[in-house]
């Protein structure tokens, strides 16, 4: 793609004396080896959480939505909060794999595989909520425009909730295809390296007979670019459509035109925080420190700073226009004096502290290159972005136009249990992925080894660039 | 070294003079009194039996068309009054003629602002693009740094002119500067903490200082880098760019509120600032591409290849879509919720500017997406030029639609004042940018990424 020349001022992306073979060995190790004790412990915990959440879901569906803490005023709370939160987390994966590909960012190659996996697993969690928050989920198929025996009764295409159905299902399918295409050469590598006949069989099926011919690679790259070009507007539109769920309404605080780009920025912000959380652990336990370097973490922190800055400016705009509009109802929206001092003051300040104050510290170079510190900031951002969605959804509707219908929201154990269940399910999937999939796109990393590898950069420094 | 070709120089001077004459004509021929307006109306009534809204017959049309439209939908008069009564004259306070007089007097001001802002935002947009290249350590674009610096040399005169226009336009643009009106309007009183003249001027000065100081220092550092053998100047520029981008993100929002949103001070939209930014950014990249093609055709920049052009064209393509995304988001959300306070903005634009309003979408979205989709075409200079013309015309219309409906309402024309202002500022832009480009060598030396940029393939 781009030229092999690289300015010496750029820091290396692959550390140590790595050869192509070393990369294959390092990436293949977790798959070809055995899981250790701590993997099993973590997996068990995640599985238990998942099963507990499954119980909560079954209980909800069989008993009724009334087991949640919703009331007549607040008809959406944890369900949609978690939905938007999970969808948002998924967005970083597509950003890393598609947008950064379009911007030719070489550093994406070490993180894109896991980020895309995270996307898919997060969208799966998100996809649960639109179903389980229905009063009659067994009629969910009615949202699809299929010819039927009711005189061909169709859906109303004016509802953003219907657009959500199309957005999320398209998003999941495109992400899956994009991810799988990228996996073909890596599955083939595992297929060729394993000694177990069982694994050979499985990875032989998964890799679709990839043999790595010139023509294949040519088409592979073209498909990747086309899919990246399609996935970029997709990633913007998906979270835009999620934001339309609120912005098309007439609820004060929800009806705001900035929501589309602001939600997208927030999604990237929270998504990158989740990537940091996962990769900081993964690079350690899977011994991938040479590939996911401090530089990668710093770059991701810079993206967090950028999107966090955009989100902060959007907060300021919301706050300002709330005042500027002169509409009295705007004083009860999630970003207003009313919210800062009202019954949900703690949620307001959680949002401000977690999403604005704490990420500001990343402006300090020392802190943004500090791995442990980054890990905690990323966790805090994940919490903060959950609060952002909670505030948008609950605070705005808790005090709407009629004072007689003002209400507060109190989650029940089922609300909380379901959320914990999705976290468990997410980690079950992610842990299984980490043991069976090549977590770094080794084929891609090999393409930058000679331009951005530490040892090759040193050689060039010693012997000249040309 | 570049020198503005003498023919181009002459051309720019001629259109500046023509523009200046036309603008003067525009200012001098505005009606001075209500009697003039009545004459104009009588003359127009003579020409068309039932024509433009201007010819409306007093009584029935005193309420503006928005009210009529709303009345049909069954809104109560009281509810619409404060939302639609955006003009200083207001309901029942003054006659239709007085209202019309004011709009006709505003027209040359609006025509000047549209053109002045259009060219200023190009310079500002290029400055933002330039800062982004530094902040992101781009490896492809350093060969274009001198060209970007040349274009941003228009920022200083351009921004000062825009600043003077908005400061001296007074109630022509900004009804909230009319004390009588504010005294009778609770909503405007509530906004007086932000919308007051001294604070408005102070904010304007801050924008000018911030933008121009960054322009000045980044250019200085960039030139110093060419003379030095370490990267100290480059590092300074990197830092300055990051801080400028933060400053810009904030001031761009307040600038849009100040100079455009407050023209209809009852109306508000949170997306508005970013929408203006999208228009600014895509026009800026388009002009950068055009300038690059011009310099390339003169053979002055052999180190810029068609790959660089390809990248610029990709940005034109992508940000055309991005602009449409923001345009649609703002439009659709307001259309969908149909809240009376907000829809006024689009009702006037659709009812009175229909062709421009929807035509702009074809120019700004449909054409660029069709023309620039193919990757081979993005490397063909004349093809990019065609797309660039569409985009620039489209975004001129965009700015036109930002200003005109809010200031002159349905009394808009595209005549001598508009064309003259466009000519004048185009001439000024060509002249200033041409001179700016000619000051130093177009090859930025010693930039840490210059070699990467020159070897760049895609």
DSSP A74-101: ---SHHHHHHHHHHHHHHHHHIIIIIHH
Which residues in A lie closer than 8 A to residue B458 (C-beta atoms)?
Answer: 1-2, 104
Phi (first) and psi of residue A138, to 5 degrees: -70, -10
Q: Which of B298, B348, B349, B289 is nearest to B316 (CA)?
A: B289
CA distance A31 to A183: 14
Half-sphere exposure of A356 (CA within 13 A, CB side): 14
Cβ atoms of residues B165 and B187 within 8 Å: no
Interface predicted TM-score (ipTM): 0.93
| C-alpha angle A140-A142-A146 in degrees, rounded to nearest 5 | 135
The answer to whether residue B170 sits within a structural domain is yes
The answer to whether residue B417 sits within a structural domain is yes
Subunit contact B139:A2, Cβ cutoff 8 A: yes
CA distance B281 to B127: 10
Sign of dihedral through CA atoms A13, A18, A24, A28?
negative
Subunit contact B272:A257, Cβ cutoff 8 A: yes
Lowest mean pLDDT among A307-311, B222-226, B390-394, B427-431: B222-226
The answer to whether residue B96 sits within a structural domain is no
User: According to the model, what pLDDT value does residue B448 have?
Assistant: 85
What are the pLDDT tens digits along chain A (466 aa)? 445 678 888 888 888 888 899 999 998 888 888 888 999 999 999 999 999 999 999 999 999 999 999 999 999 999 999 999 999 998 888 888 889 888 888 899 999 999 999 999 999 999 999 999 999 999 999 999 999 999 889 999 999 999 999 999 999 999 999 999 999 999 999 999 888 899 999 999 999 989 989 999 999 999 999 999 999 999 999 999 999 999 999 998 899 999 999 999 999 999 999 999 999 999 999 889 999 999 999 999 999 999 999 999 999 999 999 899 888 888 888 888 888 898 999 999 999 999 999 999 999 999 999 999 999 999 999 999 999 999 999 999 999 888 899 999 999 999 999 999 999 999 999 999 999 999 999 998 988 888 888 888 888 888 876 5
User: According to the model, what pLDDT value does residue B56 have?
Assistant: 41
Q: Which of B204, B174, B199, B179 is nearest to B189 (CA)?
A: B179
Closest CB from A236, A237, A313 relative to B249:
A313
| B66-95: average pLDDT | 44
CA distance B28 to B47: 23
Helix pair angle (A294-324, A108-132), 10° resolution: 50
Q: pLDDT at residue B309 above 50? A: yes
The answer to whether residue B49 sits within a structural domain is no
User: Who contacts A214 (Cβ-Cβ below 8 Å, separation ≥6)?
Assistant: none
Helix pair angle (B340-352, B381-407), 10° resolution: 120
CA distance A278 to A42: 13
Q: pLDDT at residue B87 above 50? A: no
Instruction: Tell me which chain B residue has its CA closest to the CA of residue A259.
Output: B271
A11: left (phi over 0), alpha (psi -120 to 50) or beta: beta
CA distance B390 to A251: 39
* Residue B455 CA: distances (Å) to CA of A24, A465, B306, B450: 30, 12, 12, 9
Interface of B with A in 327-346 (CB under 8 A): 329-330, 332-334, 336-337, 339, 341
| Mean pLDDT, rounded, of chain B | 85
Neighbour-count burial of A304, counting CB atoms closer than 10 A to its CB (0-12 exposed, 13-18 middle, 19+ buried):
buried
Instruction: Tell me which chain A residue has its CA closest to the CA of residue B250.
Output: A313
User: According to the model, what pLDDT value does residue B187 have?
Assistant: 85
CA distance B144 to B304: 8
User: Who contacts B286 (Cβ-Cβ below 8 Å, separation ≥6)?
Assistant: B316, B387, B388, B391, B392
Instruction: Tell me which chain B residue has its CA closest to the CA of residue A313.
Output: B250
A vs B: CB pairs below 8 A: 98
Helix (H) or strand (E) holding B2: none
Instruction: Tell me which chain A residue has its CA closest to the CA of residue B449.
Output: A7
Neighbours of A295 (CB within 10 A): 17
Neighbour-count burial of A249, counting CB atoms closer than 10 A to its CB (0-12 exposed, 13-18 middle, 19+ buried):
middle
Task: Output the 3-class SS for A198-263.
Answer: HHHHHHHHHCCCCCCCHHHHHHHHHHHHHHHHHHHHHHHHHHHHHHHHHHCCCCCCCCCCCHHHHH
CA distance B250 to B450: 31
Which residues in A lie closer than 8 A to residue B190 (C-beta atoms)?
Answer: 326
Q: Which of B216, B203, B205, B83 is nearest to B149 (CA)?
A: B216
How far is the alpha carbon of A244 from chain B, nearest alpha carbon, in Å?
Answer: 8
CA distance B333 to A382: 28
User: According to the model, what pLDDT value does residue A431 have?
Assistant: 94
β-bridge partners, A14: A453
Which residues in B lie closer than 8 A to residue A7 (C-beta atoms)?
Answer: 139, 448-449, 451-452
User: According to the model, what pLDDT value does residue B94 have?
Assistant: 54
How far is the alpha carbon of B373 from chain A, nearest alpha carbon, in Å?
Answer: 11
Closest CB from A10, A317, A465 relative to B253:
A317
DSSP B377: G
Which residues in B lie closer than 8 A to residue A244 (C-beta atoms)?
Answer: 333
Closest CB from A236, A248, A261 relative to B336:
A248
User: According to the model, what pLDDT value does residue B46 have?
Assistant: 59
Q: Which tops the pLDDT comparison, B198 or B71?
A: B198
Interface of B with A in 302-321 (CB under 8 A): 321
pLDDT digits (tens, 9 = 90+) for B345-401: 998 899 889 999 999 999 999 999 999 998 889 999 999 999 999 999 999 999 999
Confidence band for B57, pLDDT divided at 50, 70 and 90: very low
> Would you call A14 helix, strand, or coil by DSSP?
strand
Which residues in A lie closer than 8 A to residue B451 (C-beta atoms)?
Answer: 5, 7, 465
Q: pLDDT at residue B123 above 80? A: yes
The radius of gyration of chain B's CA atoms, rounded to the nearest angstrom, is 23
How far is the alpha carbon of A465 from chain B, nearest alpha carbon, in Å?
Answer: 10
Neighbour-count burial of A120, counting CB atoms closer than 10 A to its CB (0-12 exposed, 13-18 middle, 19+ buried):
buried
User: Who contacts A465 (Cβ-Cβ below 8 Å, separation ≥6)?
Assistant: A5, A8, B451
Which residues in A lie closer than 8 A to residue B140 (C-beta atoms)?
Answer: 2
The radius of gyration of chain A's CA atoms, rounded to the nearest angstrom, is 23
Subunit contact A6:B269, Cβ cutoff 8 A: no
Helix pair angle (A214-247, B306-337), 10° resolution: 30
Subunit contact A236:B325, Cβ cutoff 8 A: yes
pLDDT digits (tens, 9 = 90+) for B436-447: 998 888 888 888
* Residue A109 CA: distances (Å) to CA of A101, A445, A447, B57, B369: 9, 6, 9, 69, 29
Sign of dihedral through CA atoms B121, B122, B123, B125?
positive
User: According to the model, what pLDDT value does residue B82 have?
Assistant: 38
Closest CB from A5, A9, A258 relative to B271:
A258
A interface test, pick of B268, B269, B342 with most A CB neighbours within 10 Å: B268
Confidence band for B148, pLDDT divided at 50, 70 and 90: very high
Considering its fold, how many domains does chain B have in total? 1
pLDDT digits (tens, 9 = 90+) for B317-335: 999 999 999 999 999 999 9
User: According to the model, what pLDDT value does residue A3 have?
Assistant: 52
Neighbours of B275 (CB within 10 A): 24
* Residue A114 CA: distances (Å) to CA of A186, A221, B76, B189: 13, 19, 57, 54
Instruction: Tell me which chain B residue has its CA closest to the CA of residue A9.
Output: B448
| B283-309: average pLDDT | 92
Chain A residues whose C-beta is within 8 A of a chain B C-beta are 1-3, 5-7, 9-10, 104, 233, 236-237, 240, 244, 247-250, 255-261, 309-310, 313-314, 316-318, 321, 324-327, 465
Subunit contact A255:B333, Cβ cutoff 8 A: yes
Closest CB from B272, B337, B455 relative to A248:
B337
Question: What residue numbers bound the domain in which B214 lies?
Answer: 6-30+101-441
How far is the alpha carbon of B189 from chain A, nearest alpha carbon, in Å?
Answer: 10
Subunit contact A7:B448, Cβ cutoff 8 A: yes
Cβ atoms of residues B364 and B391 within 8 Å: yes
The answer to whether residue B61 sits within a structural domain is no
DSSP A325: T
Closest CB from B187, B231, B339 relative to A326:
B187
Which residues in A lie closer than 8 A to residue B270 (C-beta atoms)?
Answer: 256-259, 314, 317-318, 321
Which residues in A lie closer than 8 A to residue B185 (C-beta atoms)?
Answer: none
Which residues in B lie closer than 8 A to residue A318 (C-beta atoms)?
Answer: 270
Subunit contact B458:A240, Cβ cutoff 8 A: no
DSSP A453: B
Q: pLDDT at residue B70 above 80? A: no
The answer to whether residue B58 sits within a structural domain is no
Neighbours of B74 (CB within 10 A): 6
Q: pLDDT at residue B72 above 50? A: no
């Amino acid at each position: 793609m781009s030229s092999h020349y690289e300015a010496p001022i750029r820091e290396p992306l692959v550390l140590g004396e790595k050869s192509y073979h070393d990369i294959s060995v390092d990436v293949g190790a977790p798959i070809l080896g055995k899981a250790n004790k701590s993997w099993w412990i973590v997996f068990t915990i995640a599985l238990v959480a998942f099963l507990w959440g499954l119980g909560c879901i079954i209980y909800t569906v069989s008993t009724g939505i009334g087991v949640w803490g919703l009331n007549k005023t607040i008809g959406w709370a944890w369900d949609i909060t978690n939905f938007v939160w999970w969808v948002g987390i998924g967005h970083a994966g597509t950003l890393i794999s598609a947008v950064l590909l379009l911007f030719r960012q070489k550093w994406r190659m070490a993180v894109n595989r896991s980020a895309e996996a995270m996307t898919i697993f997060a969208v799966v969690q998100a996809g649960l909520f639109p179903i389980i928050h229905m009063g009659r989920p067994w009629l969910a198929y009615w949202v699809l425009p299929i010819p039927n025996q009711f005189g061909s009764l169709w859906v109303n295409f004016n509802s953003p909730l219907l657009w959500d159905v199309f957005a999320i299902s398209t998003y999941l399918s495109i992400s899956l295809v994009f991810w799988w295409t990228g996996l073909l050469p890596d599955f083939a590598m595992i297929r060729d390296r394993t000694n177990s006949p069982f694994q050979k069989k499985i990875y032989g099926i998964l890799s679709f007979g990839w043999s790595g011919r010139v023509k294949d690679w040519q088409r592979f790259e073209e498909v990747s670019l086309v899919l990246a070009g399609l996935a970029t507007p997709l990633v913007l539109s998906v979270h835009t459509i999620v934001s339309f769920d609120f912005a098309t309404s007439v609820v004060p605080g929800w009806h705001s035109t900035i929501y589309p780009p602001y939600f997208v920025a927030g999604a990237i912000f929270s998504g990158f925080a989740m990537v940091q959380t996962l990769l900081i652990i993964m690079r350690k336990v899977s011994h991938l420190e040479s590939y996911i370097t401090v530089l990668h973490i710093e770059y991701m922190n810079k993206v967090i700073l950028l999107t966090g800055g955009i989100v902060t400016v959007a907060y300021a705009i919301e706050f300002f226009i709330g005042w500027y509009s002169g509409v009295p109802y705007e004083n009860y929206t999630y970003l207003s004096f009313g919210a800062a001092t009202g019954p949900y003051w703690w949620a307001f300040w959680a949002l401000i502290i977690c999403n604005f104050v704490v990420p500001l510290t990343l402006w300090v170079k020392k802190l943004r290159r500090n791995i442990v510190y980054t890990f905690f900031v990323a966790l805090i951002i994940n919490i903060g972005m959950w609060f952002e969605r909670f505030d948008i959804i609950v605070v705005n509707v808790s005090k709407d136009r009629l004072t007689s219908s003002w209400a507060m929201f109190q989650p029940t154990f089922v609300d909380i249990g379901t959320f914990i269940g999705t976290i468990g399910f997410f980690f079950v999937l992610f842990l299984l992925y980490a043991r069976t999939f090549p977590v770094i796109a080794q084929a891609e990393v090999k393409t930058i080894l000679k331009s951005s590898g530490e040892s090759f950069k040193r050689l060039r420094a010693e012997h000249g660039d040309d | 070294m570049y020198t503005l070709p003498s023919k181009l120089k002459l051309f720019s001077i001629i259109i500046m003079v023509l523009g200046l004459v036309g603008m003067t004509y525009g200012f001098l021929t505005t009606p001075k009194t209500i009697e003039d307006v009545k004459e104009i109306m009588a003359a127009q009534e003579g020409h068309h039996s039932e024509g433009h809204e201007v010819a409306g017959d007093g009584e029935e049309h005193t309420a503006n068309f928005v009210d009529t439209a709303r009345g049909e939908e069954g809104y109560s008069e009281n509810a619409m009054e404060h939302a639609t009564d955006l003009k200083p004259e207001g309901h029942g306070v003054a006659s239709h003629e007085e209202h019309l007089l004011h709009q006709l007097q505003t027209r040359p001001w609006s025509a000047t602002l549209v053109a002045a802002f259009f060219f200023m935002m190009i310079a500002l947009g290029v400055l933002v693009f330039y800062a982004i290249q530094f902040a992101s350590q781009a490896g492809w674009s350093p060969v274009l740094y001198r060209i970007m610096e040349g274009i941003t040399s228009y920022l200083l005169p351009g921004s000062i002119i825009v600043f003077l226009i908005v400061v001296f336009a007074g109630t022509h643009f900004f009804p909230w500067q009319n004390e009588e009106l504010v005294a009778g309007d609770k909503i405007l009183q509530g906004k007086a903490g932000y919308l007051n003249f001294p604070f408005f001027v102070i904010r304007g000065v801050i924008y000018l200082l911030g933008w121009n100081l960054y322009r000045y220092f980044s250019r200085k550092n960039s030139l110093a880098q060419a003379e030095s053998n370490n990267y100290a100047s480059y590092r300074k520029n990197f830092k300055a760019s990051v801080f400028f981008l933060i400053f810009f993100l904030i001031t761009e929002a307040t600038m849009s509120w100040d100079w455009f949103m407050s023209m209809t001070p009852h109306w508000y939209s949170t997306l508005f600032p970013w929408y203006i930014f999208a228009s600014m950014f895509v026009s800026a990249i388009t002009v950068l591409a055009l300038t690059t093609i011009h310099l390339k055709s003169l053979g002055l920049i052999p180190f810029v290849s068609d790959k660089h052009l390809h990248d610029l064209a990709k940005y034109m393509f992508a940000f055309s879509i991005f602009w449409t995304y923001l345009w649609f988001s703002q439009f659709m959300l307001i259309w969908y919720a149909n809240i009376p306070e907000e829809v006024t903005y689009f009702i006037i634009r659709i009812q009175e500017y229909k062709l421009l309003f929807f035509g702009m979408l074809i120019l700004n979205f449909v054409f660029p997406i069709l023309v620039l989709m193919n990757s081979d075409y993005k490397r063909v200079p004349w093809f990019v030029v065609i797309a660039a013309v569409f985009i620039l015309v489209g975004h001129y219309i965009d700015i036109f639609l930002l200003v005109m409906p809010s200031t002159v309402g349905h009394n808009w024309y595209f005549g001598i004042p508009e064309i003259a202002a466009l000519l004048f500022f185009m001439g000024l832009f060509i002249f200033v940018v041409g001179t700016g480009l000619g000051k130093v060598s177009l090859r930025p030396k010693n930039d840490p990424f210059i070699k990467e940029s020159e070897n760049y393939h895609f």
